[in-house]
Amino acid sequence: VQLQASGGGLVQPGGSLRLSCAASGFSFSYYAIGWFRQAPGKEREGISCISGSISGSDHSIYYADSVKGRFTISRDNAKKLVYLEMDRLKPNDTAVYYCATPYGSSCRRRASEYDYWGQGTLVTVSS
């Protein structure tokens, strides 16, 4: 199982970025994928998750209150990719962002419940 997050960078407040999580080594469409972030000196925070699906088309989605209405998660099962579209970014969105899977179809709330992690991608929101 491998996950690789990409798409981070420097963006001005109010701007947008799209992160991607590329997966390999498992039956992608069945498994939930979550996005987490960790700012310096803070605990890792779960911000969004999209569930897996046997049919490949019926997914549940979760957002943390801190990003609800600004971030959008989606997945392309054919390409084995999960996206996190981040709009109206704020300086306190600055963090290293990680994707992970709990190696099951349902989203989990705690980072400790995720078994496989990608390397992080740094998002810096600053003018």
Mean pLDDT of 54-66: 88
Mean pLDDT of 18-32: 92
Task: Tell me the percentage of the chain whose pLDDT exceeds 90.
Answer: 88
- Give the span between the Cα atoms of 101 and 61, in whole angstroms: 14
Label residue 103 by pLDDT band (50, 70, 90): confident
